Amino acid sequence: MRAIVVSELGDPDVLRLSDRDDPKPGPGELLVQVGAAGVNFIETYQRSGLYQMALPYTPGAELAGQVLAVGEGVAGFKPGDRVATVDARGSYAEQAIVPADRAVPVPDGVDTETAAAVLLQGMTAHYLTQSTYPVRGGETALVHAAAGGMGLLLTQLVKAAGGKVIGTTSSEAKAKIADEAGADEIVRYDQFTDDELAAEVLRRNGGQGVHVAYDGVGAATFEASLAALRPRGMLVSFGNASGPVPPVAPLRLSQGGSLFLTRPTLGHYVAARQELEWRAGDVFRWIQDGTLSIRVGATYPLSEAAQAHRDLQERKTTGKVLLVP
């Protein structure tokens, strides 16, 4: 089978297509024919060395596809079943091994590409809006990169909860996409300094700070996100698209208004099987009942994985990025 293999850290060109032996499922594992693999920002952090990986490796953890074979002791899945996961061992491939206890069934009403497009970012948007900071009706959320994969889902879920969304984007084309997803206000953050950006967010919120800032952009927006919060507001720093956030002194949170700061990651919110099933079940249900609309902004063949990373990192994509082997 063909798979992307990374043998050295570096720029997107280190993502090379190779021929590998077909994987075999061990005890408790599934062998899955990859229908589509989700491309996520974390794979750029791993490829560049920001997050550590043992070399060589096949990138990717998110996929949806069909079970080809099951290992010893697997109950609940059989060949032919459609499954999705955020814990595949290398989803940038034609076939991948998935621990059976980390796979979820894909319901009939959700097609395979949509399942691959939504599971990781959908469960992330789920935990951020239902568990980390559950937005209530009438509250305001600042959502950075609102036309991105995470941004579009967060926007829709805050709106579904009755909240107000102030979204940020770097272009008019992206502003239009965020607007269509339901953002109440859209700020072109490329046109403001940090201080001005926070002031603009307050201005768009009737002079009040926001209840929560969902910030996956990281270094470039961190200060503005803190400054845009109301007293006792929460900064949910969930990503580093522009680079990691430098250290911050706890006193800064006191001076900003007894603020809360958290740096969550999906793994800690779906560690228990029951929690994984709850979040995945809600996300698939929300697609079927129209609460969530999924925008696949770009689809690439496996051989163009490097281009997919380049486009994601150069801010050229909107919505979800997929690889289809």
The least CB distance from residue 183 to ligand NDP, in Å, is 12
Contact range with ligand NDP by CB under 6 A, out of 8-16, 65-73, 154-162, 212-220 = 212-220
* Count of residues that interact with ligand NDP, criterion CB under 6 A: 30
| Interface with ligand NDP (CB under 6 A), residue from 265, 273, 277, 301 | 265
CB 312 within 8 A of CB 41: yes
Stretch that binds ligand NDP, among 23-31, 94-102, 259-267, 298-306 (CB under 6 A): 259-267
Question: Rounded distance, CA 63 to CA 14, Å?
Answer: 21
Q: Give yes or no for residue 95 binding ligand NDP (CB under 6 A).
A: no
User: What's the full length of the chain, in residues?
Assistant: 325
| C-alpha–C-alpha distance, residues 198 and 209, integer Å | 9
Complex with ligand NDP: residue 127 or 284, whichever CB lies closer: 127
Q: Look up tokens 């770097």; give the residue.
A: 170
Q: Nearer Cβ to ligand NDP, position 5 or 42?
A: 42
Least distance to ligand NDP, CB of residue 8, Å: 22
Contact 35, 64 (CB under 8 A): yes
Distance CA 256, CA 248 (A): 12
Amino acid at site 282? D
CB-based contacts of 44, cutoff 8 Å, min separation 6: 12, 309, 312, 313
Interactions with ligand NDP, residue window 33-92 (CB under 6 A)? 40-42
Give the integer Cα–Cα distance in Å for 260 and 320: 29
Q: Which of residues 129-168 bind ligand NDP (CB under 6 A)?
A: 145, 147-151
Copy the structure tokens of residue 191: 């046109």
The owner of tokens 């590998």 is 20
Candidate residues 64, 317, 322, 325; the one interacting with ligand NDP per rule CB under 6 A: 317
The one segment of 71-79, 108-116, 214-222, 283-291 that binds ligand NDP by CB under 6 A: 214-222
Return residues touching ligand NDP (CB under 6 A): 40-42, 120-121, 124, 145, 147-151, 169-170, 174, 216-217, 220, 238-242, 264-266, 312-313, 315, 317
